[in-house]
Chain A
């Protein structure tokens, strides 16, 4: 960070924009320009119809050169709109772009005070004063350029992981595809047919699997798990534990070892409906097509080879019990999380009798039973007597859409999966009577409604209302379903030979591990959260990490593949460029003040601060930092300087905003992403509210240190508002929980000091909640009216940090 010479005179140019009549209509812009000229450090101040126009920008550039300006303030619209424009103009004139500051006198002033020209003009003066005060303390900054390693790590080898890996590998990036199971393929490999086209699932997946297996740019790491990830965007170092297969590349998958093996277990791939041996391949199309020994099951535990039957049976000497686990260290630039999902365990719904009644099966078991390569050779048989049932009932929403049992959300694939399954039964055994018990049928996708219609035409009976109970006939293991048909408001009692529970999708049980390794966040449902639900749907909040498939939310194959290609494209952008620039709003630790207490590291949502107590060193990993400023607010020793949002700069803004009539004002700290944008939205929507609020922008509400609030009170401010994103929606993972904690602490303190707690307000306002922002300000007007001189004096004296 280069600092200007202390002797350097600060020369600020202020440009007040009319924005046609958008600003000039309710703010006297000439008056503002005249006022600005009187503010310390301002050497030139002008008003202009459109400062953002080429001519307006030219004016700034000329003045920088002619008048030797070293700071520029533009009073116009929201920095969220035109800050980049003016920053570029400054840069073109040779001024570091971090020496530019904006006063938002349109969205936050002229548009929201359309009919109060005088008051609006006074407010605009304050806003300019605040911007100039901050500008005087601005420092030039240099942005960090981080190289990006042109290799990717894909975690999870289901269809989403395979697609991402193939797309990246075809773009010529090296890809490590890590899968914890012995074969790639994931859930899609287990499914018999896909909806709505009724394609054979493995037939369309197997070619992709073998493409991934033999692609020169893909290194397949099956039976492997990611155990550690260090580093940051562009420069991750991942540790992958490659567990031994005990079978070498020499294996030709002839299967001669299998019949001689004496140890058996249920095959996980067949949901336990078939048996496998200790040496096995999960399914015929497995990639890599190398057998594996389940060493926990095998007689050869530990290092003693007691049984050598498979070794003897193998012509190619491919079995090697001496294989050891390996830990690989991979250097990658991007990481794609495609870890997939688990399924709901229906045994917890006691009324459906799963695990008590043999003929109640789960939908994943159905897929294996109807599959020609499955344990029953494609015959849909009842487990009780191995006969094909003449009536089958499907029960929807098992574990989904219920707050009482299972999960609140819709698993999104089960309706169509059931319709497909019903049609499959009709195709093989047309005489079978099929009932589908549902809550709603959600056939929302391309070709879905058509398939639903076809099922109805083929006499699949749809009954709205889930059974309340299933009763088993002990003699023949038939099942009686009792419930209410909610369309006819009639009770039904229906006897069937078999029940298929359409089980929902749930987050992986071990998804916490990946969450911790990559500092991801989860939604309340437990799936990984994207950086933005609409505009960055495959980016994780952590830079350089992307999401694909069911790890992000329940979705079908097509959506998984779409998302996988999107994730590959997003990761590809980073790697193609080869470098990434970090905005210079990251913290700098002043080791003279730092006590190496570690509070900053704990407050960082990105693990971007490392504290070494032995070496007495606190270091910021700039590339991993997102610039929220939570660490700066947390540091009790003022040892952290948040670049471009320094304590001094924020104090200067507070002081400037409270220079006049502080006791009638609201000092508002608004986070850049939600609350500030919400205030912008109130402006765009021309929502009128009182003129006494002065907004100070921080990147995150987590930047707001208690001392800022105290400073505002000590300056005599009537009310302080701290506003951020809703809890759970924070743009910095969870930094706004720290805001909440700090404000609650301040309230307690105010209580202790006998202050009116209402004078400090905390609000969660999204970028769309302009109305909420406006009504919050209106509501606070009432509080201001109750704040008398005595109360103000009390806070001036009692709160630390004054002056």
Chain B
């Protein structure tokens, strides 16, 4: 059998991966869902609320899961979403 990888790596706690903070400007959104569709970590989902244009803006499912790739920001046709690095000094 190939080697079983079951242990938590010894350095697992030392490796710091930057985490993103997602900001959604709801009123700009016109519900194309690109950000939801293309997010590689499936961080976003469609919300039930309506913005003033009558669209469902996205909502953050799990903020800890954002890898800060910035693709939602790049793909949004309405500049309605952006990410910044989360300050994790006190722990995330």
Give the B-binding residues of A (Cβ under 8 A). Answer: 262-264, 266-268, 270-275, 299-301, 304, 306-309, 342-345, 347, 355, 358, 364-365, 375-376, 381, 383, 386, 506, 509
Q: Contact: B69 with A266, CB < 8 Å? A: no
A190: nearest chain-B partner, CB-CB:
B3
- Asked whether any CB of chain A lies closer than 8 Å to the CB of B68, the reply is yes
Contacts of B40 in A (CB 8 A): 299-301, 306-307
A302: nearest chain-B partner, CB-CB:
B40
A297 to B5, CA, bound (A): 15
Say which residue of B5, B11, B67 sits within 8 Å of A268 (CB atoms).
B5
Q: Contact: B5 with A275, CB < 8 Å? A: no
Contacts of A262 in B (CB 8 A): 17-18, 67-69
- Take A268-B3, A506-B1 as given contacts and tell me if A299 and B69 are in contact as well, using a CB distance cutoff of 8 Å: yes
11 further A-B contacts with Cβ under 8 Å, apart from A299-B41, A309-B69, A365-B7, are A267-B9, A272-B4, A272-B7, A274-B11, A275-B11, A275-B12, A299-B67, A306-B71, A307-B67, A345-B4, A375-B10
A309 to B68, CA, bound (A): 10
A268 to B7, CA, bound (A): 11
A274 to B70, CA, bound (A): 28
Q: Contact: B41 with A266, CB < 8 Å? A: no
B37: nearest chain-A partner, CB-CB:
A304
Q: Can you report 29 A-B residue pairs in the complex whose CB atoms are below 8 A from each other? A: A266-B5, A266-B7, A266-B9, A268-B5, A271-B3, A271-B5, A272-B5, A272-B6, A273-B7, A273-B10, A274-B9, A275-B9, A275-B12, A275-B15, A299-B40, A299-B69, A304-B38, A306-B38, A306-B71, A307-B69, A309-B69, A342-B1, A344-B1, A347-B4, A347-B6, A375-B9, A375-B11, A383-B7, A386-B10
Q: Contact: B1 with A345, CB < 8 Å? A: yes
A383 to B7, CA, bound (A): 9
Task: Return B82 CB to nearest CB of chain A, in Å.
Answer: 15
Contacts of A270 in B (CB 8 A): 9
A349 to B1, CA, bound (A): 14
- Asked whether any CB of chain A lies closer than 8 Å to the CB of B91, the reply is no
A216 to B12, CA, bound (A): 41
Contacts of B2 in A (CB 8 A): 342, 509
Proximity string of chain B (41-85) to chain A, C-beta cutoff 8 Å, 1 when within and 0 when not: 100000000000000000000000001111100000000000000
Task: Return B35 CB to nearest CB of chain A, in Å.
Answer: 11
Q: Contact: A307 with B71, CB < 8 Å? A: yes
Which 8 pairs show the lowest CB-CB distances between chains A and B? A272-B5, A307-B69, A299-B40, A306-B71, A262-B67, A275-B9, A345-B1, A306-B40
Contacts of A274 in B (CB 8 A): 9-11
Say which residue of A355, A375, A376, A509 sits within 8 Å of B6 (CB atoms).
A355
Contacts of A300 in B (CB 8 A): 40
Contacts of A304 in B (CB 8 A): 38
Contacts of A347 in B (CB 8 A): 4, 6
Task: Return B4 CB to nearest CB of chain A, in Å.
Answer: 5
Contacts of A264 in B (CB 8 A): 15, 17
Q: Contact: A509 with B71, CB < 8 Å? A: no
A355 to B11, CA, bound (A): 18
Q: Contact: B67 with A263, CB < 8 Å? A: yes
Q: Contact: B1 with A355, CB < 8 Å? A: no
At the interface, is chain A mostly helix, strand, loop or mixed?
loop
Contacts of B68 in A (CB 8 A): 262
Q: Contact: A355 with B4, CB < 8 Å? A: yes
A347 to B7, CA, bound (A): 12
Per the CB 8 Å criterion, the residue count for chain B at the interface is: 23
Q: Contact: A306 with B69, CB < 8 Å? A: yes
Contacts of A509 in B (CB 8 A): 1-2
Contacts of A307 in B (CB 8 A): 40, 67, 69-71
A275: nearest chain-B partner, CB-CB:
B9
A344 to B2, CA, bound (A): 8
A324 to B68, CA, bound (A): 27
Task: Return A404 CB to nearest CB of chain B, in Å.
Answer: 18
Say which residue of B3, B7, B12 sits within 8 Å of A364 (CB atoms).
B3
Task: Return B37 CB to nearest CB of chain A, in Å.
Answer: 10
Contacts of A364 in B (CB 8 A): 3
B74: nearest chain-A partner, CB-CB:
A306
- Take A262-B69, A304-B38, A307-B69 as given contacts and tell me if A343 and B3 are in contact as well, using a CB distance cutoff of 8 Å: yes
B1: nearest chain-A partner, CB-CB:
A345
A300: nearest chain-B partner, CB-CB:
B40
A506 to B11, CA, bound (A): 30
Contacts of A268 in B (CB 8 A): 3, 5
Contacts of A263 in B (CB 8 A): 67
Contacts of B10 in A (CB 8 A): 273-274, 375-376, 381, 383, 386
Task: Return B70 CB to nearest CB of chain A, in Å.
Answer: 8
Task: Return B77 CB to nearest CB of chain A, in Å.
Answer: 16
Contacts of A301 in B (CB 8 A): 40
Task: Return A365 CB to nearest CB of chain B, in Å.
Answer: 8
Contacts of B11 in A (CB 8 A): 274-275, 375
Contacts of B17 in A (CB 8 A): 262, 264
Task: Return A297 CB to nearest CB of chain B, in Å.
Answer: 11
A751 to B2, CA, bound (A): 50
A267 to B3, CA, bound (A): 11
Contacts of A381 in B (CB 8 A): 10
Contacts of B5 in A (CB 8 A): 266, 268, 271-272
A524 to B69, CA, bound (A): 52
A345 to B2, CA, bound (A): 8
A243 to B81, CA, bound (A): 36
A275 to B11, CA, bound (A): 7
Contacts of B70 in A (CB 8 A): 307
Contacts of B4 in A (CB 8 A): 272, 345, 347, 355
Proximity string of chain B (17-29) to chain A, C-beta cutoff 8 Å, 1 when within and 0 when not: 1100000000000
A274 to B8, CA, bound (A): 8
A301: nearest chain-B partner, CB-CB:
B40
B16: nearest chain-A partner, CB-CB:
A259
B15: nearest chain-A partner, CB-CB:
A275
Contacts of A273 in B (CB 8 A): 7, 9-10
A386: nearest chain-B partner, CB-CB:
B10
Task: Return B52 CB to nearest CB of chain A, in Å.
Answer: 29
A268 to B9, CA, bound (A): 11
Task: Return A267 CB to nearest CB of chain B, in Å.
Answer: 7
A263 to B68, CA, bound (A): 11
Contacts of B18 in A (CB 8 A): 262
Say which residue of A272, A358, A383, A386 sits within 8 Å of B3 (CB atoms).
A272
Contacts of A355 in B (CB 8 A): 4, 6
Contacts of B3 in A (CB 8 A): 268, 271-272, 342-343, 364
Contacts of A267 in B (CB 8 A): 9
- Chain B CB within 10 A, most for which of A262, A266, A343, A509: A262
Contacts of A306 in B (CB 8 A): 38-40, 69, 71
Contacts of B12 in A (CB 8 A): 275
Task: Return B54 CB to nearest CB of chain A, in Å.
Answer: 29
A260: nearest chain-B partner, CB-CB:
B18
Contacts of A358 in B (CB 8 A): 7
Task: Return A792 CB to nearest CB of chain B, in Å.
Answer: 59
Task: Return B5 CB to nearest CB of chain A, in Å.
Answer: 4
Contacts of A271 in B (CB 8 A): 3, 5
A343 to B41, CA, bound (A): 34
- Chain A CB within 10 A, most for which of B9, B67, B68: B9
